[in-house]
């Protein structure tokens, strides 16, 4: 068959005209033969007479665009272009008028129109149909076999077979050996058999309790997703919908800060509910939580808050203590820095920034006496000796005889001052003692101790003969002075500066002396002249200090709102730290007889606590706050400046920055 095809083709080939170059559109009807159709019929006899064949060959004719001629004929003469090119109108007229228009073809090489003859048109038609160009060609001639189809006994050729057809192929051998080697080495594996076990089966058919590993006990199962509340409903109750402001706030919040991760929405019917746009996100975040979050068991504290409140004895059972404000002592015109009650409890002395010291009768609130001293009064202290009446007032420390009350007491006081006999040899002292005379003496001034520096605090010893004054100074050892009134002697007990001294105090019974610096309280033995104890207050800055009349306990108020109770027998650390006040503490005080102590602070309140100290050493002191007393107004951010108890009654005095003194009973 193949050969026959070959033959057919070879027969066909010469029929096609040499160099025939025709492009005819398949669907175009013959009437509209384009003039662009290029033909070059050499065989047509009708053209022989006027043979103007171009000799330029098969070249793009636009090369001759700029020349008047278009090529050369067989004789070597120029073939000139027609003078006038046909334009569209000519074309149209031609199309309308020329009956042979459909068989006219424009020859680009000669720039002439050629009318096709009948044979040529016929040829074109045949070619269009896919027939052979030659009319006489028979395409179905009977085929003649080159070889016979019968099997012959003799070979066609006599050539012997190759040697390689007898011996095994080397290439194949190489390939096979490679495969064998690969199989041997395990590089090629046999095809895996298909899995026959079902995909799912009863995995937990044999639940073996021993199979539970130790890890399962440690395993923290992932917490379940939070269940939705009403606000997530597609149709929530209207109170769960956000208002306009809430919605704005929600939109402005960061995604992490939002309480709800979505905006509650209301849809009138289920049909109107759209897809939730963050659905895949939320699922993905859950996945991340599951494998990225460390898991921890958090013990939730499940206590009743009422159980946390300590059970204290009722304040009612701890009476008496001051509960109500009963008297206000008005008269000062500036902050009342310090107050002190007389040992009998009949009088009260107060010192103020308006440079006066006032004496009050406690029961009536009447100002008995006003003394002008030349400067702001920082501290006043009434002599604890009931037989003598001396008040130490500072700036320069003044000893006053108020001249109030019992005549005997007044005279005995004066006698104490006058009975002084100067010693034989005069010693150089840190302060100068000067006796007051004239009008000053009549006012009550008795002695003036001129200190080298400003005095901040004065304090009497329990017996009433010794007096300590504090002159805070960071850079010298002259900060504390102890004076003896009967001998008019002064001594400086400390040789070294241990820090800025805030306040000092005498032990009520034993010869101990307490010195509070900024953060520590040092206890000195005055007889042995040595340091006995150093109390760590854990405060930033001590403001005031008071010693229990028993002498074994001490309270310290500090500017960082704390009150530290020390049990001196127990430890050098505070037994209890009370943070009752909101602002800096200014004054603390113990009652002489009742188990009470008070603290006054800048928040304008005085807090009375019950502080029972037992004789039994094994029992710790009982501290119960019993009353918060309010009354002082806060002026210039200062509230209560000093507190002191009445010596016999459960009453407390407090002086404040609002220039008043108040008595709470």
Partner 1 sequence: MGGLQKKKYERGSATNYITRNKARKKLQLSLADFRRLCILKGIYPHEPKHKKKVNKGSTAPRTFYLFKDIRFLLHEPIVRKFREYKVFVRKLRKAYGKAEWTGVERLRDNKPGYKLDHIIKERYPTFIDALRDIDDALSMCFLFSTFARTGKCHVQTITLCRRLTVEWMNYVVTSRSLRKVFLSIKGIYYQAEVLGQLITWLVPYQFAHDHPTDVDYRVMATFTEMYTTLFGFINFRLYQTLNLVYPPKLDSKAESELKAEHEEDYAMDSESYLEKLSALSASLARVVATAEEEENQLDLFPTEGENMQAREKEQKEQEAQKRLFEGLKFFLNREVPRESLAFILRCFGAEVSWDKSLCIGGTYEVTDETITHQIVDRPDMDKQYINRYYIQPQWVFDSVNAQMRLPVEDYFLGTTLPPHLSPFVEEKDGDYVPPEKLKLMALQRGEKPGKSRAELDSEEEDEEEEDEEEEEEDDEEEDDVDDEELTEEKNLKKMEGTRVTPGKVKPWETGSVGNKVRLEQEEKAEEKRLAIMMMKKKEKYLYDKIMFGKKRTTREVSSLRCAPAKPTRHITCHHSKVQT
Q: What is the token pair recorded at 171? A: 């290439």
Please count the residues of this chain forming the interface with partner 1, following the rule CB under 8 A.
86
- String marking each residue 421-450 x if it binds partner 1 according to CB under 8 A: ------------------------------
Among 135, 176, 180, 312, binds partner 1 (CB under 8 A): 312
Buried b (16+ CB within 10 A) or exposed e, 219-257: eeeeeeeeeeeebeeeebeeeeebeeeeeeebeeeeeee
619 C-beta neighbours (distance < 10 Å), count? 10
Residues 166-195 that bind partner 1 (CB under 8 A): 188-189, 191-192
Q: Cβ of residue 205: shortest distance to partner 1, in angstroms?
A: 9
Complex with partner 1: residue 592 or 630, whichever CB lies closer: 630
**Segment near partner 1 (CB under 8 A), from 305-313, 349-357, 362-370, 443-451?**
305-313
User: Least Å distance between CB 214 and partner 1?
Assistant: 9
Among 287, 387, 434, 531, binds partner 1 (CB under 8 A): 287
Output 136 or 296, the one with its CB closest to partner 1: 296
**371 token code pair:** 């003394």
Q: Distance between CA 607 and CA 605 in Å, rounded?
A: 6
Q: Do the Cβ atoms of 351 and 428 come closer than 8 Å?
A: no
Task: Report, in Å, the least distance between residue 160 CB and partner 1.
Answer: 36
For partner 1, the closer CB: 134 or 232: 232
Give the distance, in angstroms, between the CA of residue 622 and the centroid of all CA atoms in the same chain: 44
Contact 400, 371 (CB under 8 A): yes
Three-state secondary-structure class, residue 31: helix
Q: Is 241 in the site for partner 1 (CB under 8 A)?
A: yes
Please state the closest distance from residue 443 (CB atom) to partner 1, in A.
45
Q: How many CA atoms lie within 13 A of 395 on its CB side?
A: 14
Does 248 sit near partner 1 (CB under 8 A)? no
Cβ-based nearer residue to partner 1, 63 or 276: 276
Kindly state whether residue 516 participates in binding partner 1, applying the rule CB under 8 A: no
Burial (Cβ within 10 Å: 0-12, 13-18, ≥19) of residue 454 = middle
The DSSP letter of residue 316 is: G
Stretch 192-211 residues interacting with partner 1 (CB under 8 A): 192, 199-204, 207-208, 211
Measured from the CB atom, the residue of 185 and 270 that comes closer to partner 1 is 270
Q: Please tell me whether residue 274 binds partner 1 under the rule CB under 8 A.
A: yes
Q: DSSP strand E in 354-502: where?
A: 356-361, 366-372, 380-382, 391-393, 397-400, 432-435, 445-450, 457-460, 466-470, 480-484, 489-491
> Least CB distance from residue 569 to partner 1, whole Å?
22
* Of positions 67, 80, 276, 614, contacts partner 1 by CB under 8 A: 276
In this structure, how many other beta carbons lie within 10 angstroms of the beta carbon of residue 319?
12
Q: Where are the beta strands (DSSP E) in 401-488?
A: 432-435, 445-450, 457-460, 466-470, 480-484
Q: How far is the CB of 192 from partner 1 (least distance, A)?
A: 6
Per-residue HEC secondary structure of 195-226 comes to: CCCCCCCCCCCCCCHHHCCHHHHHCCCCCCCC
Q: Among 553, 392, 542, which Cα is nearest to 466's?
A: 392
Q: Which of residues 279, 374, 419, 475 is near partner 1 by CB under 8 A?
A: 279
Asked if 236 interacts with partner 1 (CB under 8 A), we say yes
Least distance between partner 1 and beta carbon 611 (Å): 12
In this complex, which beta carbon is closest to partner 1, that of residue 362 or of residue 640? 640
Among 212, 144, 166, which Cα is nearest to 7's?
144
* 255 touching partner 1, by CB under 8 A: no
The region of 29-37, 229-237, 477-485, 567-575 touching partner 1 under the rule CB under 8 A is 229-237
Contact 642, 654 (CB under 8 A): yes
The nearer residue to partner 1, 355 or 577, going by C-beta atoms, is: 577
Long-range contacts of 231-236 (CB under 8 A, 24+ apart): 231/260, 231/264, 232/262, 232/264, 234/265, 234/266, 234/267, 234/270, 234/273, 235/266, 235/267, 235/268, 236/264, 236/266
When binding is defined by CB under 8 A, the residue of 47, 240, 250, 541 that contacts partner 1 is 240
Question: What's the CA gap between 598 and 629, in Å, rounded?
Answer: 10
- Contact status: 250 vs partner 1 (CB under 8 A): no
Give, in degrees to the nearest 5, the angle at Cα 182 between 179 and 186.
140
| Interface with partner 1, residue 309, by CB under 8 A | yes
Question: Among the candidate windows 81-89, 379-387, 584-592, 626-634, which touches partner 1 by CB under 8 A?
Answer: 626-634
Residue 249 touching partner 1 (CB under 8 A): no
> Residues 70, 31: contact at Cβ < 8 Å?
no
The β-bridge partners of 601 are 585
Kindly state whether residue 254 participates in binding partner 1, applying the rule CB under 8 A.
Answer: no
Q: Is 271 in the site for partner 1 (CB under 8 A)?
A: yes
Please answer whether residues 573 and 538 qualify as being in contact, where contact means their C-beta atoms are separated by less than 8 angstroms: yes
Q: Cα angle at 256 between 250 and 258, to 5 degrees?
A: 30
- Nearer residue to partner 1 within complex by CB, 207 or 437: 207
Which 316-335 positions form the footprint of partner 1 (CB under 8 A)?
A: 316
Select from 546, 565, 560 the least CA-distant residue to 621: 565
Residue 270 as a binder of partner 1 (CB under 8 A): the answer is yes
Q: Which of 95, 181, 286, 366 binds partner 1 (CB under 8 A)?
A: 286
Q: Considering the complex, what minimum distance in angstroms separates the CB of residue 319 from partner 1? A: 12
3 state SS of 457: strand
Stretch that binds partner 1, among 27-35, 235-243, 550-558, 589-597 (CB under 8 A): 235-243
In the complex, least distance from residue 592 CB atom to partner 1, rounded to whole angstroms: 24
Residues 628-657 interacting with partner 1 (rule: CB under 8 A): 628
- Tell me the closest approach of the beta carbon of residue 599 to partner 1, in angstroms: 12
Within residues 538-597, the interface with partner 1 by CB under 8 A covers 578-580
């Amino acid at each position: 068959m193949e050969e026959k095809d070959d033959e057919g083709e070879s027969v066909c080939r010469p029929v096609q005209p040499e160099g025939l170059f025709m492009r005819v559109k398949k669907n175009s009807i013959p009437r509209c033969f384009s003039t662009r159709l290029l033909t070059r019929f050499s065989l047509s006899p009708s053209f022989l007479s006027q043979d103007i064949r171009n000799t330029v060959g098969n070249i793009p004719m636009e090369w001759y665009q700029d020349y008047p001629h278009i090529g050369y004929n067989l004789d070597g003469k120029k073939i000139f272009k027609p003078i006038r090119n046909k334009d569209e109108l000519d074309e149209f007229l031609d199309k309308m008028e020329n009956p042979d228009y459909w068989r006219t073809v424009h020859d680009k090489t000669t720039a002439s129109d050629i009318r096709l003859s009948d044979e040529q048109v016929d040829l074109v038609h045949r070619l269009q149909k896919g027939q052979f160009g030659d009319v006489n060609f028979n395409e179905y001639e009977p085929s003649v076999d080159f070889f016979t189809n019968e099997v012959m006994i003799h070979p066609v050729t006599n050539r012997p077979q190759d040697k390689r057809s007898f011996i095994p192929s080397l290439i194949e051998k190489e390939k096979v050996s490679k495969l064998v080697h690969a199989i041997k080495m395990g590089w090629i594996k046999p095809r895996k058999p298909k899995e026959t076990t079902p995909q799912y089966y009863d995995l937990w058919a044999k639940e073996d309790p021993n199979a539970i590993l130790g890890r399962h006990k440690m395993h923290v199962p992932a917490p379940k997703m939070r269940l939705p509340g009403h606000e997530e409903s597609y149709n929530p109750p209207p109170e769960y919908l956000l208002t306009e402001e809430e919605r704005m706030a929600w939109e402005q919040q960061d995604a992490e800060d939002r309480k709800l991760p979505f905006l509650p929405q209301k849809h009138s019917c289920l049909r109107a509910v759209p897809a939730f746009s963050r659905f895949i996100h939320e699922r993905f975040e859950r996945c991340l939580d599951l494998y990225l979050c460390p898991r921890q068991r958090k013990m939730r504290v499940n206590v009743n808050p009422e159980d946390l409140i300590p059970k204290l004895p009722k304040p009612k059972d701890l009476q008496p203590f001051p509960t109500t404000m009963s008297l206000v002592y008005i008269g000062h015109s500036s902050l009342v820095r310090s107050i002190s009650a007389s040992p009998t409890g009949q009088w009260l002395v107060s010192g103020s920034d308006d440079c006066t010291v006032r004496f009050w009768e406690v029961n009536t609130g009447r100002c008995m006496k006003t003394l002008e001293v030349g400067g702001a009064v920082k501290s006043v202290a009434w002599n604890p000796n009931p037989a003598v009446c001396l008040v130490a007032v500072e700036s320069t420390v003044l000893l006053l005889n108020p001249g109030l009350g019992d005549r005997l007491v007044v005279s005995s006081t004066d006698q104490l001052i006058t009975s002084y006999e100067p010693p034989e040899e005069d010693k150089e002292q840190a302060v100068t003692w000067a006796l007051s005379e004239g009008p000053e003496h009549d006012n009550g001034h008795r002695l003036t101790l001129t200190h080298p520096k400003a005095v901040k605090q004065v304090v009497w010893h329990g017996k009433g003969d010794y007096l300590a004054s504090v002159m805070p100074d960071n850079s010298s050892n002259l900060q504390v002075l102890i004076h003896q009134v009967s001998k008019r002697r002064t001594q400086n007990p400390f040789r070294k500066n241990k820090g800025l001294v805030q306040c000092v105090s005498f032990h009520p019974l034993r010869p101990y002396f307490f010195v509070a610096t900024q953060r520590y309280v040092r206890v000195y033995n005055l007889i042995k002249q040595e340091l006995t104890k150093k109390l760590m207050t854990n405060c930033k800055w001590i403001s005031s200090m008071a010693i229990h009349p028993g002498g074994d306990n001490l309270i310290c108020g500090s500017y960082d709102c704390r009150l530290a109770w020390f049990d001196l027998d127990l430890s050098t650390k505070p037994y209890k730290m009370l943070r009752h006040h909101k602002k800096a503490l200014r004054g603390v005080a113990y009652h002489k007889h009742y188990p009470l102590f008070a603290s006054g602070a800048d928040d304008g309140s005085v807090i009375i606590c019950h502080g029972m100290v037992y004789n039994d050493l094994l029992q710790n002191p009982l501290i119960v706050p019993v009353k918060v007393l309010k009354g002082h107004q806060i002026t210039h951010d200062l509230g209560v400046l000093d507190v002191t108890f009445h010596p016999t009654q459960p009453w407390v005095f407090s002086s404040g920055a609002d220039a008043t003194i108040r008595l709470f009973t």
